[in-house]
Amino acid sequence: MKHLLIAAGLLSATAAFAADKPQLTVYTYDSFVSDWGPGPQVETAFEEVCDCKLNLVGIEDGAALLSRIRLEGENTDADVVLGLDNNLITSAKETGLFAPHSVIAEYNLPIEWSDEVFVPFDWGYFAFVLNADAVAPANFRELADSDTKIIIQDPRSSTPGLGLLLWVKAAYGEEASEIWAGLADNIVTVTKGWSEAYGLFLEGEADMVLSYTTSPAYHLIAEEDDSKAAASFDEGHYMQVEVAAKLANTDQSELADQFLQFMVSDKFQQIIPTTNWMFPAVTPANGLPKGFETLIVPQKALLFEPDQAATEREQAISEWLSALSQ
Amino acid sequence: MLRLDECVIANGDFVLRANLEVADASCVAIIGPSGAGKSTLLEAIAGFRNVKGGRIFWDGEDLTKRPPGKRPVASLFQDNNLFPHLSAEQNVSLGIRPNGRVSKDERALVASALGRVGLLGMGTRKPFELSGGQQSRVALARVLVQQRDLLLLDEPFAALGPALKAEMLDLVAQLISGTNKTLLMISHDPQDARRITNKSILVADGIAHPPEPTEHLLNNPPTSLRDYLG
Amino acid sequence: MAERAQPISPLPGVGAATLVAALVLGTLAAVALRADSGGMFAFSDWAALRFTLTQAVLSSVISAGLAIPTARALARRRFFGRQVLIALLGAPFVLPVIVAILGILQVFGRAGWISEALGFFGLPAIRVYGLHGVVLAHVFFNLPLATRLLLQGWQEIPAEQFRLAAQLNCKGMAMFRLLEWPMLKRVLPSVLAVVFAICLTSFAVALTLGGGPRATTIELAIYQAFTYDFNLGRAALLSTVQLALTAAAALVALRFTRKEGFRTGLDRAIRRWDGGSPAIDTFWISATAAFLLLPLSSVVISGVVGLLELPTQVFKAAVISVAVAVASTSILLFLALPMAAAVAVGRHSFVELIGILGLAASPLVIGTGLFILIRPFVNPTAVALPVTALVNAVMALPFALRILVPAAQETVTRYSRLALSLDMKGHVFFASVLLPRMRAQIGFAAGLAMALSMGDLGVIALFADAQVATLPLQIYRLMGAYQIQAAAGGALLLLMLSMGSFWVLDRGGRWHVET
C-alpha cells in the first residue's frame, strides 16, 4: 500500500512537471515508436535539447497515418507528422493541412530534394532479398523467365507492395503489364504487409521476398549473420523517401520547426540506420555503421515525382490486378 | 375459500372453463381423463398461466393479477421440485426467503421441517445423493415452511412405487391435518383420491366442475369419467 | 404479453442488445456521416463479394461438417489426454493471424513439413495457395470451435435418453437419427452462421493463403478504402454489405433453430451406451488432432528459443493483455448473460440477431467509428485499453451466446415454475438459479472470451501510443523490427497465456459435471 502511494505520488509529480513544459505531439507509424524502433532514442535525444515533452503517437503504417490526419482534420492533436513517404505526398498536400518548413540541410539522397512542405528523414531502395548463396536474377525479365519463387506485398494494403508496382512502372512504362504477366508464375503469394512476407521468406516459403537493400544489414549487424543478400537489378531500383511535415494548425509552431531541424541533425540521423534500417537522409559525421558498406548500390535510382506517382498508382494497380487474376 | 369466478383458461387452442368454489381446510382431488386440462387448472390457480376471462378469489381477495410468488399457493410439480445445485437445507430455506439467506431462527425452522418429514441430519445432502422418496420429502419440507394456505399437488409422487406413494400421501395428509390448509391434488388413481380426499373436481370436456364428494363421484361416474376409469 | 409468467425479465437483455447494436451500427453511422461523399460499389467489388461468399460458405460447411464426426467421437470416448485435447481445441482460434499463417504454412507450405516429407519420397510438394488454401486455413481456425460447440450439444443430451435408446437397442445410424440428429438440427445452423460470419471478415488469411489478388475479400477493400483511398463512404458501404450478409445468414440460422428444451434428469455423470465403431472414432479424433496440433507444434517449436530471451517489454505487454482480457471477459458476461436470459424467456429474435452481428462488424469500422465518436470528448489514446476491452467483448459475444443460450433455455424451462412459486424473481433467480445452473457454460464462454481477447489485435493499433501495447501488438512490432525469433517467442507466450486462462476458467466451471 505504501509503495502504491509513493508510486501514485511520483506519477502525479511527473505529470505536473510535464504539464509545465510545452508539449510537442508527433504522429508517426507504429514501428517507429516501438521499443525496437527509433522512437525511444529520438524522444530522449530531443527532450535533452528542447526543454519540452515529446509525445510520439504510433499509427499502424504510413497510409493509415495519413488517413488519421485526414480523419482528425483541422483540429488534429498532431503538431508534426513523421513517416509519410514520397507516394503519399500528393494526397497529403491536397488536404491543405500541412505548412511549409524552414529546414536547411545537406541531404545525401540519390535525387534532388526541394519540397517546400515535406522534409526527408530517411530513404531506401526496394529490393528482393534472398539467401546470399542463391543465384540472383539480374532484372525483372530474367526473374520472370526463371523459376525463382518470390513473395510480394499487396499494393492495396502495403507500402512496399505499392513501391514494387511503381518500380516496374518506372522501369518498363507501357510494358509493365507484360512484365507482370511474366512474373505471375513466380509469385508464391501476396501478403497484406511486409511482416507476413518477410516471415514467410525466413521460413523458406520462397526464394526471394520484396524488401529493402538495407535488409541484409539487419541480419549482419544485429544477428552477425551474413547469409542474406539483396538482388541488384540492372534496370535500377525504386526509392522510398520517408518524410515529415509540420501541421498548419499547430499551436507549437516554433517547437515543430525545431523538431524538423533536429530531425536532419546528427543526433537524430545516427539513430536511424540501426533502428529503422534505412539510409539516413543526411549522413552523420561519423558515417554509416559498419556493415552498411557491404550493401548493394543500385546503378540507377528510380523515382516518380509525387504527382506522377499519384496518377500512375490507380492504373498500375488495375494492371497488376488483371495480370495476376488471370 | 378459493373461488374461480367464470374463469376461462386457455392453453394454445384448448380452452377450459371453471366456475367453482373450494371450502377452506378441504382436501380435494382433481380427476379427469388425460389431456382434459387438470394441470392447466392448477397452473391458472398457481398463477403460471394467465386467465383469459373471469377472476380467481381467495378469501374474497382477487388473485387474478397477482404473480405466482405472491399468491397463498405452494405447489409440488411432477418433477423439478428441487434445485440440484443446492443442498436439502438450502432448498427448504428458499421456502422462507427466496434468496435463501435465512436467519438463525429460521434455520432452526428449516431443520425442524426436515425433521418432520423424516430427514433429520440429511440437510447438507444434495438431491442426487438422496433417493426419490427422500427428494419428495425435501420438497414437502419446503412446502411446510412456506406456510401457504393452498397446497397444489400435480402428481409429484407419480414416479414413486405404490407403497412409497401411499406413504407420501399419508405424510401430506398428516402434515396438513389440524391446520387450515386446503389441498388440491391431481390424481389418476381412484385409490389415491379415496385415500386422502373427501371431495373431487371433475375436469372433462373443457369444464372444471364444482367439487362433489369423492366417493359419490367415483361410485357414480359420468360417461366421460367412466371411459377413463375403465 | 407471454402466455406464461417468467421468473426473469427480458428487459436487461434487450437493453444489452441495444447497447451492442448501438455500438455496431452507431460506429458504422459515424463513419458514414463523416464521409465527404457516398460510396460506390465498384465493378471489382463484385468479384470480391463473390470470392468472399464462396470461401465463407465452403469454410463454414466444411468446418461444421468435419466437426460432426469429431465431436461425436469425443462425446462418446474416454481416453487419456481427452481433456487436454478438448482444451487445445481452443488454441487455433486465439492465435494472432500472422502467427497462425506462419504456423499453417510451416506445415502445409511449399517448404512445409508435409512437402518435405513428400520430397523425401521423391514426390512433388503440395500446392497450398488458392481457394483450397483459404478454406484449409479457415477450417484450421474454425473446426475446433465448431467441434467444441457441437460437443457441448452432445453433452446436453440427457443421459436418460441415451439409456432409453440403449434399451431400445438403438445403435449407429438409428441412435444418430433418434437423439443426435434432432440436437444437430438445433445447434448446427447457428454454428454454421457463426463460422460463416467469421470467414466473411477474413482478410490477411484469405489473401496470403489465396495466393494473390484473386483472393480479394470485402474486408481488404474496406481496408484499402480506409487507408490508401480515405474513402469513408465506400468503407461504410462495404461494411454495410458485410453486416447485411451476416444478418441474412443469422436470420436463416434462427429460422432453423427451434427452441425445444430437453427434459433432463438430475446432475449425474454422463455415461454412453452406444458403442459405435472405435476405429472410426479413433480415426476422426486422430485426424483432427493431427490437423490442429501440427501447426500448433510448429508455433511452439519456433517459439521455444525466442521465449528464453524475450525482451522485458514483451512481458509488460503480456501483463497489459491479461488485464485487458479480464476486463473484456467481465464486459462480455455483463452483456451476454442478460441477453441469454432474454432469449431463454421468450423468442427475442432481435437479441439473437444482434448477438451475431458483432462478428460481422469490421474491426476497422468499429475502431474508426469509436474514434470519431470519442475524440470530441477524450483523447482516444487515453482510453485505448478500455476501448479494446469493449470491442473484444463485442467480438466474443456471438460465441458466448451460442454457448450460453441453450443452457439458459434449459434452466428456465425446468425451474421457472418452481422459482415463481417460491417468489424467486429478477436478480434472485438470476443469482441463485441461472448462474449456478449455467456454471459450466459460463466457464467455457469466459475462457473463450479471455483467450480471444488475449490473442486479438483488435482496435488497439488504431488507438495505442508507444506506452501501452498489448501482447499481439508487441508481437507485430517485433516482426516489423525483423525480430522474427523474439516474435515467435512472444507468440508462444501468448499461446500459453491464452490456453492457460482458457483452461482455468473452463475447468473452473466444469469440474463437477464431467467425468
Beta strands in A20-143 (DSSP E): 23-28, 53-58, 80-85, 98-99, 119-131
Q: What residues 247-276 of chain C have any CB closer than 8 A to a CB of chain B? A: 263, 266-268
**Proportion of chain C above pLDDT 90, given as a percent:** 25
CA distances from A203 to A148, A159, A199, C449 (A): 16, 22, 6, 31
Q: What is the mean pLDDT of chain C?
A: 84
Write the CA distances from A70 to A91, A260, A272, B31, C165, integer angstroms: 10, 21, 27, 79, 66
Q: What is the mean pLDDT of residues B166-192?
A: 88
Q: Are C and A touching by the rule of 3+ CB pairs within 8 Å? A: yes
Cα C99 to Cα A199: distance, rounded to the nearest angstrom: 9
Subunits with 3+ Cβ pairs within 8 Å of A are C
pLDDT tops 50 at residue A16: no
Predicted pLDDT at C149: 86
Check B47 against C415: CB less than 8 A apart. Answer: no
Instruction: Record the cell numbers describing residue A181, joined without a space.
Output: 504477366
Architecture, CATH, for domain C11-260+284-510: Orthogonal Bundle (1.10)
Rounded CA gap, A164 and A172, in Å? Answer: 12
> Is the pLDDT reported for residue A49 higher than 90?
yes
Here the cell at position C179 is 437423439
CB of C31 within 8 A of CB of C236?
A: yes
For residue C244, count other CB atoms closer than 10 A to its CB.
11
pLDDT of amino acid C349: 78
Nearest by CB to C129, from A31, A35, A189: name it.
A189
- What are the grid coordinates assigned to C112, written together? 512445409
Tell me the C-alpha distance between B12 and C4, whole Å.
11
Interface of A with C in 143-202 (CB under 8 A): 149, 154, 156-157, 162, 187-196, 198-200, 202
Instruction: Decide if C5 and B48 are in contact by the 8 Å CB cutoff.
Output: yes
Question: C-alpha C38: how far from its chain's center?
Answer: 33
Domain boundaries, chain C: 11-260+284-510
Q: How far is CA B174 from the centre of its chain?
A: 15
- Say what the pLDDT of residue C367 is: 87
B68/C5 Cβ within 8 A: yes
| Angle, CA of B56, B62 and B68, to the nearest 5° | 70
Position C285 pLDDT exceeds 60:
yes
Highest mean pLDDT among A264-278, C144-158, C301-315, C342-356: A264-278
Interstrand relation of A237-247 and A301-302 (parallel, antiparallel or unpaired):
parallel
**Are C464 and A188 an interchain contact pair (Cβ–Cβ within 8 Å)?**
no
For A237-275, what is each residue's pLDDT tens digit? 999 999 999 999 999 999 999 999 999 999 999 999 999
| More confident of the two residues A28 and C123 | A28
Q: Which fold has domain A2-123+240-290?
A: D-Maltodextrin-Binding Protein; domain 2 (3.40.190)
Question: Which of A87, A187, A200 is the best substitution to test chain C (most C C-beta atoms within 10 A)?
Answer: A200
Where do we find the cell 537522409? A281
Question: pLDDT value at position A266?
Answer: 95
By Cβ distance, the residue of A194, A196, A320 closest to C208 is A196
Asked if the model's pLDDT at residue A9 lies above 50, the reply is: no
pLDDT confidence tier of residue C357, bands split at 50, 70 and 90: confident
3-state class (DSSP) for residue B158: coil
Where is C121: in which H helix or E strand?
none
Task: Determine the average pLDDT of the residues in C467-487.
Answer: 86
Among all residues of chain B, which has the CA nearest to that of C513? Answer: B85
Q: Across-strand partners of B188?
A: none
For residue B13, the chain C residues in CB contact (below 8 A) are none
Q: Which residue has the higher pLDDT, C258 or B174?
A: B174
Q: Which has more confidence, A7 or A171?
A: A171
Q: In the predicted model, is pLDDT for residue C167 greater than 90? A: no
Fold of A124-239+293-324: D-Maltodextrin-Binding Protein; domain 2 (3.40.190)
Chains within contact range of chain C (3+ C-beta pairs < 8 Å)? A, B
CB-based contact B98 C422, cutoff 8 Å: yes
Flag if C423 and B67 touch (Cβ within 8 Å). Answer: yes
Least reliable range by pLDDT among A118-127, C449-458, C463-472: C463-472
Contacts of C431 in chain B (CB under 8 A): 99
Domain with CATH 3.40.190.10 in chain A: 2-123+240-290, 124-239+293-324
- The answer to whether residue B143 neighbours chain C at the CB level (below 8 Å) is no
Phi, psi of C329, rounded to the nearest 5 degrees: -65, -40
Quote the pLDDT of residue A46.
Answer: 96
What is the model's pLDDT at position C42?
78
Residue C413 CA to residue C6 CA, distance in Å, equals 10
pLDDT at A304: 94
pLDDT at residue C272, as a whole number: 57
Please name the residues between 2 and 61 in chain B that touch chain C, using a CB distance below 8 Å: 10-11, 43, 46-50
| CB-based contact C480 A194, cutoff 8 Å | yes
CB contact under 8 A, C480 and A206: no
Q: What is the DSSP string of B68-94?
A: GGGSSEEEE-SS--S-TTS-HHHHHHT
% of chain A exceeding 70 in pLDDT: 94
